[in-house]
């Protein structure tokens, strides 16, 4: 079984995106995601210095956007990924990447959500000087006791003997002066006490936005940071993404779930390295790849073939997607209900914007499998709205 994981903040390094933009079409896609995020992600991933990309409001959209475009190099079609990947997960902000990859959010929705997440967390961080430090080694019980004594939160429990403490700069200095026995304390290049109550204002803002976001159930099992459980409901995934900003990340439980699911191979997408390192210590005996540059793609494709072989078939695909042409509110055509047959070019829905109404046409003939949206749902351009089973006259 193959697992794909997406890293969180702190994994970015200056220039890490440069080799990916040399692949055909990747710069165009990144520029589009940059437009959605309202910032120059191409520059931040290629020429911006370490201090610039440390900024929470920059780092988070950069990490999610980079992860999403790297997935284009792994699978020719999203449906291939849904079939091949046994489970997915993301660390902290990487959960947004994972949710989009699993079909819960569109890429555009993910970029808007991470843009507002980064801005909100940056603003919350500015209220008081806070930060995070990694605590490596030591007795787990003693580490817990020492953090509590200093008023710190175990914001990330990453497994393999790594806990990330979060709190005020004074509390973190006290930890460095009085660490747990046989443990090292390493300050991290992040600008706030993420996944603690210091981030409550950001969580409140995201909660308001979430009420306007239309989601779909994951098409690949998603393992949650909150408790390591597999979440099957798209609304539940979104709720956890919102609450995650002020609650600890239990990556140790995620890795335990991967083990319980029977993972044999794990690929970490860019900016890769951190989660692969944790997995090497916590998941012995499985094949692990940090997908850092396009030079690693041959190894990634081999792993997909060996750990998640796609069934070869000469038959027509079992389903195809109809997508929204514009952003707006969707209204499915009443007669196009469950199991209805539609012909190529038929109007299956309409999307109403502030200015006019656009028809949604089926690009091929087929039988309705399921609607992925309901009447009145907001949709984005390119968002899947309907699944069809192709018929003989499909292209």
Residues serving a catalytic function are: 92, 195
Alpha helices in the chain (DSSP H): 26-37, 41-46, 50-54, 56-71, 78-84, 94-101, 107-127, 140-149, 169-177, 200-210, 234-244, 251-261, 274-282, 297-307
**Whether the Cβ atoms of residue 246 and residue 196 lie closer than 8 Å to each other:** yes
**Whether the Cβ atoms of residue 85 and residue 209 lie closer than 8 Å to each other:** no
**Whether the Cβ atoms of residue 184 and residue 137 lie closer than 8 Å to each other:** yes
234 CB-contact burial (10 Å; exposed 0-12 / middle 13-18 / buried 19+): buried
Count Cβ atoms below 10 Å from residue 51 Cβ, excluding itself: 9
Taking the C-alpha atoms of residue 112 and residue 80, their distance in angstroms, rounded to an integer, is: 26
Taking the C-alpha atoms of residue 79 and residue 103, their distance in angstroms, rounded to an integer, is: 10
Taking the C-alpha atoms of residue 149 and residue 249, their distance in angstroms, rounded to an integer, is: 21
- Angle at the Cα of 72 from the Cα atoms of 120 and 56, rounded to 5 degrees: 20
- 219: Cβ contacts below 8 Å, ≥ 6 apart: 82, 102, 103
Taking the C-alpha atoms of residue 278 and residue 290, their distance in angstroms, rounded to an integer, is: 11
**Whether the Cβ atoms of residue 167 and residue 196 lie closer than 8 Å to each other:** yes
**Whether the Cβ atoms of residue 237 and residue 99 lie closer than 8 Å to each other:** yes
- Angle at the Cα of 22 from the Cα atoms of 277 and 308, rounded to 5 degrees: 50
Peptide bond into 271 cis (omega under 30): yes
Taking the C-alpha atoms of residue 330 and residue 328, their distance in angstroms, rounded to an integer, is: 6
Tokens of 119: 């801005």
């Amino acid at each position: 079984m193959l697992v794909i994981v997406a890293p969180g903040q702190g994994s970015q390094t200056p220039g890490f995106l440069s080799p990916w933009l040399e692949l055909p079409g990747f710069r165009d896609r990144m520029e589009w995601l940059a437009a959605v995020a309202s910032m120059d992600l191409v520059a931040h991933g290629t020429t911006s210095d370490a201090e610039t990309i440390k900024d929470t409001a920059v780092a988070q959209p950069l990490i999610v956007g980079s992860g999403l475009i790297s997935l284009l190099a792994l699978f020719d079609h999203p449906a291939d990924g849904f079939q091949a990947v046994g489970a997915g997960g993301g660390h902290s902000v990487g959960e947004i990447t994972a949710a989009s990859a699993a079909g819960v959010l569109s890429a555009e929705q993910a970029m808007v959500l991470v843009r507002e997440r980064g801005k909100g967390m940056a603003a919350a961080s500015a209220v008081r000087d806070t930060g995070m430090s990694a605590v490596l080694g030591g007795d787990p019980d003693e580490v817990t006791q020492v953090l509590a004594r200093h008023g710190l939160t175990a914001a990330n429990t990453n497994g393999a003997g790594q806990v990330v403490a979060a709190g005020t700069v004074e509390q973190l200095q006290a930890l460095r002066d009085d660490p747990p026995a046989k443990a090292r304390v390493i300050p991290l290049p992040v600008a706030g006490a993420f996944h603690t109550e210091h981030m409550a204002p950001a969580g409140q803002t995201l909660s308001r936005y979430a009420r306007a976001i239309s989601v779909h159930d994951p098409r690949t099992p998603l393992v949650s940071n909150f408790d390591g459980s597999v979440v099957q409901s798209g609304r539940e995934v979104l709720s956890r993404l919102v609450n995650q900003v002020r609650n600890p990340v239990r990556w140790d439980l995620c890795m335990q779930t991967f083990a319980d699911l029977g993972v044999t191979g794990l690929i970490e997408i860019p900016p890769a390295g951190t989660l692969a390192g944790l997995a090497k210590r916590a998941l012995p005996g499985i094949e692990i790849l940090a997908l850092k540059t396009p030079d690693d793609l041959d190894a990634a494709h081999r792993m997909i073939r060996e750990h998640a072989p796609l069934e070869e078939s000469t038959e027509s695909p079992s389903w195809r997607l109809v997508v929204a042409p514009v952003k707006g509110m969707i209204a499915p055509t009443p007669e196009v209900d469950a199991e209805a047959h539609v012909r190529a070019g038929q109007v299956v829905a309409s999307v109403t914007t502030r200015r006019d109404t656009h028809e949604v046409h089926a690009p091929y003939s087929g039988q309705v499998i399921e609607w992925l949206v309901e009447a009145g749902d907001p949709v984005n351009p390119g968002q899947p709205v309907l699944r069809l089973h192709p018929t003989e006259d499909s292209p």
